[in-house]
Structure 1
Amino acid sequence: MGIGKSLLGSRMKKIFARVLFLFVAGAYAQSCSLMGGKDKSVGASQEIHASQPQPEVWFKGNVDEAFKIAKKDKKMVFLYWGAVWCPPCNELKQQIFSKPRFAELMTNFVPVYLDGDTEAAQIWGEKFQASGYPTVLILDENQKELFRLSTVLSIEEFDGAVQSVLASSGSLERAASAVMESRAKHKDLLVLAYSSWDQLPEAQWPASRRINLMEQAFESAETSPEKSIFGSQWITQLVNEKTKLSEKLLQRVFAAIFTDNESIWASREFIKYQAGAVAEWTGWKPGDQKYVFLRSEWLKAAAQLESHPSASVSSKLWSVNPEIEFYKYEHPNEALPKNLISKVEIAARHADEEAKSEYDRHSVISDAAYLLRQVGSFDKGRELLKAELLKTNTPWYYEGALSGLENQAGRPEEAKKWSSAARKSVQGRASKVQWITSDLLLNAKDTKNGVYVAEIARAFYEQTMKLRDGFSGRNWMRAKKVQEALEPFKGEVLFKKIFTDFAPSCEKTQIGESKKNCAEHFAALKS
């Protein structure tokens, strides 16, 4: 069974780019058991289970209770942190959580589904330093992290990763040490291969350490999928840090990635999302023989991914992305040719036709619209999103996507209209904070728009002050962005009154680290 790869950096950067109008950018937070009150997430958590594949698989209590059971039964905790609207979360549900093998694997764990909109979810997210949806953690009974995953694998790859963690009863740290000391076993390589490197704490896992580890793992790997997976991870880290390799070594790594069908499948996330970044990083000019060969190999690999029997609807859709990125690298600031635009429109139509389940549709429709935007096919993207808006259970996500599309299409008033609609329709504790923030950031760009921005700012504080974790986790990320956006307005009487009205609520409504963050937020705005 070949290894697959979760190249978080490449995947998440594309996600952040396509929904920048929504996702705006962890410190340690207190455990829920130390917050002066009971964790109330159990009721909401039980409601969430009903919308999950195989709801009977998930633990029905809260996070604290899960760790108590884990300690009693000598089990690890499998914790999933995500959101109902999040595309990769839904792909994870379709590709893994809905499979019978997932239920079998979870008998070895206390499996917890923690929706980001449940009570205290953001406090737990901050405690475990989880900032992006989805994040999957395997933790021991004492809450020590053993493994972290933030993107989608096949069920076979997921099986291999989970079995490796169970077999070693150890952590990523232990596996890394084994590799660096040249005593790694296959299970150690699997743990390293599937880990989400860009989500790990920087203090413990600085870039230099990650790069050295990937190089050693690449040299230690024996099978073509292993070579490929560590080669693509290594290059991803080097690209992120703008660090070069010798051309001889670079050719070795590229050859390992494109060796055969198994190696290509193992590095599919890298192939789908990193073409443009890698082309720019190499510095090779479009006419160079090296570049022409790389582009040819890369596009052949993307075509193989599209036709792979295990390819998800999302993977088939995104297999067109490398051609877009190569063209833009070769022809900056030029319109794309009609044949490439047509190819993307066909890929988007096929994704729409093939996405039958609720999870698949949440996974691919906004992505298809994003790709249509990237090639200037705004009418097709608008049509797709509006059609989905009529049948989805998360209308705010598609209203937000329409806002992003109209903004890119040069229609700012339409963008504001859809952003306002998303803010008003959004459901969920933390999701409301996120979409209110998005609307505020869009409108705060116009400093003459103070009255309307003040209205949104008041809505933001009304929502955060309803939550005891209103300034924790992802909510705190948004509060920082709001603070930055309101800086030009903070001297105005209207905004001074808002800050004066809400600042005292920090002490009354927030708890633990969230209370401290809240006070810090208003102190900066009132200075």
Structure 2
Amino acid sequence: MNRSAPILCTVLAVAALAACSKRDAPPAAPPASSASTAQAAPADAGIAWVRAASDAEVDAAFARARSEGKPVFVYWGAKWCPPCNQLQATLFNRQDFIERSRAFVPVYVDGDKPGAQKLGTRFAVRGYPTMVVFDRGGQELTRLPGEVDAQQYNEVLTLSMSAQRSAKAVLAQARAGGQGLVEADWRLLAYYSWETDQQQLAGAGGVAALLRELAQACPAAHADSAMRLRLKALAVADSQAGPVAGAAAQRAPVLALLADAAQSRRHMDVLTNSAAGLASALSAAGSAERKSLLAAFDGALVRLQADASLSRADRLMALVARVQLAQLDAPGKDKSAATPAALRAEVRDMAVRFDREITDGYERQAVITTAAWALEQAGLMEDSDALLKANLAKSHSPYYLMADLADNAKKRGDKAAALDWNAQAFDKSEGPATRLQWGARYLGMLIELAPQDAQRVERAAAQLFDEAAAMPDAFEARSGRSLQRIGGHLSGWAKGGAHGDAMKRLQRQLDEVCAKLPAGESRRLCDGVLKPGSSA
């Protein structure tokens, strides 16, 4: 989990991705849920999901797709993930999406089902949520963004389902000069989920260089696609390197976008999630250009923050972007003091109001975590703690909130509280992949804040290795990366020969786990967990 990213479990951030609903296309009736209960009724009951956790189940879904002549929509998610809950609350429960789902075979892979992490490796997915569209023959067509609003999502979904060629094939033609490409082709690239690409299209060169290339190549006649590619390219620029080349020429169209309510609404996901990065790419700190750009941004973000057609999570992200822009040029690591008092009051008021208004369990998981982060970003740490604690009993995944409480305590310098909340979060976490992820986080903080407590460190690591031994896919996808982080934490703890006896016991325990694995990549990764450099 990365509190410094927007409402994203991607790593991507993922960046980090939220969908939103619109008034003019109302969702189906929300699931019955009380603000005082931790249970969330299924929001996607109308979708005939194929719930898959094995190759055989996925293969059966593709066989069905071939026989019915339908594409396949794969959704990779997790119960605790805030943007996954956002999708449940604002997209998967919409009648128009439910009806559209009958035109494809919808496959849901819950990352915590036994064996599901192996599917993560098969589909090259890392962060939750990731959504991939395949043709009936099993070829990947595209990856869908989860952060655009629901109506726009349906537009992109329609485009993807009707695509005659994959995004990979369209990209190759774009890079070869683009002759013959039509608006639909450029839209397929502009609305591709670059945050969850995992080098499927970008390759070794990386997303940043590729997006710059596409932004320059997209014809101005395809205005919407050209603007989105420009924004995406600017958003991934190195914020420490100063303004990008040609910043002055690129500033004018962005300023025009910010002044246009309809256009800024259409690209609200990039504007809210990447405001500080865009400002850094287009202007130098302290310059007159920076000042005018920040004023234009604030005006656009104020509109988005007040836009009732946006989801609560998206409106909160507009407010978070305003806070981040206010702190952009502030010195030091803790920039919260640079937040104007009036802006702090807006953050506090919106958090309180949304907490009071929400009745849907999925929306609560998405919004409260974002609101608590917004409060922390604005320097309202006590308010953030109070909001999180008040929602522990209302959340279906309270361990996520506990981890946020641990982060807050650590930032305050309260080591004991940070470790206690992290221990509780690990203890309450559910699902094998999630427990390894939360366990890696707990072990890392334990080694950072209390490295002298060797018994506690060894006990936690031994428990994680025991749990990994019981998993059929412990060294696949996210779980494999969690175990590599665990190994990294322990190797750092034992640097210079410290804690030699404990490390020998842990190595023997891990050797027993590895010995039971068949020869191959998983065995190689297992053997390298406590031997940095031997596993990639």
The answer (yes or no) to whether the contact 1:130–1:199 under 8 Å persists in 2 is: yes
Identity %, equivalent residues = 24
Closer/same/farther in 2, CA of residues 418 and 511 from structure 1, 3 Å limit: farther
Deviation at 1:66, TM superposition (A): 0.8
Which amino acid in the other structure matches residue 260 of structure 1? Answer: D
Deviation at 1:469, TM superposition (A): 0.7
Which amino acid in the other structure matches residue 321 of structure 1? Answer: V
- Partners in 2 of 1:184 and 1:95 — Cα distance? 33
The answer (yes or no) to whether the contact 2:49–2:106 under 8 Å persists in 1 is: yes
The answer (yes or no) to whether the contact 2:214–2:229 under 8 Å persists in 1 is: no
Question: Counterparts in 2 of 1:109-188, with a 5 A limit?
Answer: 109-179=104-174, 180-188=177-185
Closer/same/farther in 2, CA of residues 414 and 461 from structure 1, 3 Å limit: same
- What residue number does 2:512 align with? 504
- Partners in 2 of 1:82 and 1:252 — Cα distance? 39
- What residue number does 1:41 align with? none
- Partners in 1 of 2:302 and 2:452 — Cα distance? 49
- What residue number does 1:250 align with? 250
The answer (yes or no) to whether the contact 1:228–1:263 under 8 Å persists in 2 is: no
Report which stretch shifted further, 297-306 or 68-77. Answer: 68-77
Deviation at 1:505, TM superposition (A): 1.8
Q: Does 1:326 align with 2:317?
A: no
Q: What is the CA deviation profile of residues 399-456 of structure 1, one whole-angstrom value per residue up to 9, with x for unaligned ones?
A: 1111111111221110100000011111111111111111000011143122111111
- What residue number does 2:222 align with? 221
Q: What is the CA deviation profile of residues 238-286 of structure 1, one whole-angstrom value per residue up to 9, with x for unaligned ones?
A: 3479582313422233135325122101221222122222333345233
| Alignment root-mean-square deviation, CA | 3.0
1:457 corresponds to which of 458, 461, 478: 461
* Structure 2 SS opposite 1:468: coil
2:369 corresponds to which of 366, 369, 374: 366
2:195 corresponds to which of 186, 195, 198: 198
Q: Does 1:73 align with 2:68?
A: yes
- What residue number does 2:278 align with? 278
Structure 2, gaps ≥5 residues long: 16-38
Closer/same/farther in 2, CA of residues 99 and 133 from structure 1, 3 Å limit: same
Query: TM-score scaled to structure 1, two decimals?
Result: 0.86
The answer (yes or no) to whether the contact 2:79–2:85 under 8 Å persists in 1 is: yes
- What residue number does 1:7 align with? none
- What residue number does 1:433 align with? 436
Deviation at 1:190, TM superposition (A): 2.6
- Partners in 2 of 1:164 and 1:54 — Cα distance? 25
- Partners in 2 of 1:337 and 1:18 — Cα distance? 30
* Structure 2 SS opposite 1:147: strand
Query: TM-score scaled to structure 2, two decimals?
Result: 0.84
The answer (yes or no) to whether the contact 2:369–2:401 under 8 Å persists in 1 is: yes
- Partners in 2 of 1:49 and 1:339 — Cα distance? 35
Which amino acid in the other structure matches residue 469 of structure 2? Answer: M
Which amino acid in the other structure matches residue 466 of structure 1? Answer: A
The answer (yes or no) to whether the contact 1:125–1:131 under 8 Å persists in 2 is: yes
- What residue number does 1:266 align with? 266
**Higher helix content, 1 or 2:** 1
Q: What is the CA deviation profile of residues 267-313 of structure 1, one whole-angstrom value per residue up to 9, with x for unaligned ones?
A: 21222122222333345233x32112111110111011122242101
Closer/same/farther in 2, CA of residues 292 and 17 from structure 1, 3 Å limit: farther
Closer/same/farther in 2, CA of residues 15 and 312 from structure 1, 3 Å limit: closer
Which amino acid in the other structure matches residue 390 of structure 1? Answer: A
- Partners in 2 of 1:16 and 1:479 — Cα distance? 22
- Partners in 2 of 1:367 and 1:322 — Cα distance? 12
- Partners in 2 of 1:309 and 1:324 — Cα distance? 20
Question: Counterparts in 2 of 1:453-492, with a 5 A limit?
Answer: 453-490=457-494, 491=497, 492=500
The answer (yes or no) to whether the contact 1:369–1:385 under 8 Å persists in 2 is: yes
- What residue number does 1:514 align with? 522
* Structure 2 SS opposite 1:63: helix
Deviation at 1:151, TM superposition (A): 2.4
The answer (yes or no) to whether the contact 1:466–1:509 under 8 Å persists in 2 is: no
- What residue number does 1:42 align with? none
Which amino acid in the other structure matches residue 454 of structure 2? Answer: G
- Partners in 1 of 2:210 and 2:511 — Cα distance? 42
Deviation at 1:178, TM superposition (A): 5.0
Residue-pair matches, total: 490
Deviation at 1:343, TM superposition (A): 1.7
Closer/same/farther in 2, CA of residues 159 and 16 from structure 1, 3 Å limit: closer
Report which stretch shifted further, 417-426 or 252-261. Answer: 252-261
* Structure 2 SS opposite 1:97: coil
Deviation at 1:204, TM superposition (A): 4.2
The answer (yes or no) to whether the contact 1:19–1:404 under 8 Å persists in 2 is: no
Closer/same/farther in 2, CA of residues 231 and 120 from structure 1, 3 Å limit: same
Closer/same/farther in 2, CA of residues 356 and 259 from structure 1, 3 Å limit: same
The answer (yes or no) to whether the contact 2:190–2:229 under 8 Å persists in 1 is: yes
Structure 1, gaps ≥5 residues long: 1-9, 25-47
Deviation at 1:15, TM superposition (A): 4.5
- Partners in 1 of 2:309 and 2:48 — Cα distance? 24
Q: What is the CA deviation profile of residues 60-96 of structure 1, one whole-angstrom value per residue up to 9, with x for unaligned ones?
A: 5622211121222232110000111111111111221
- What residue number does 1:14 align with? 6
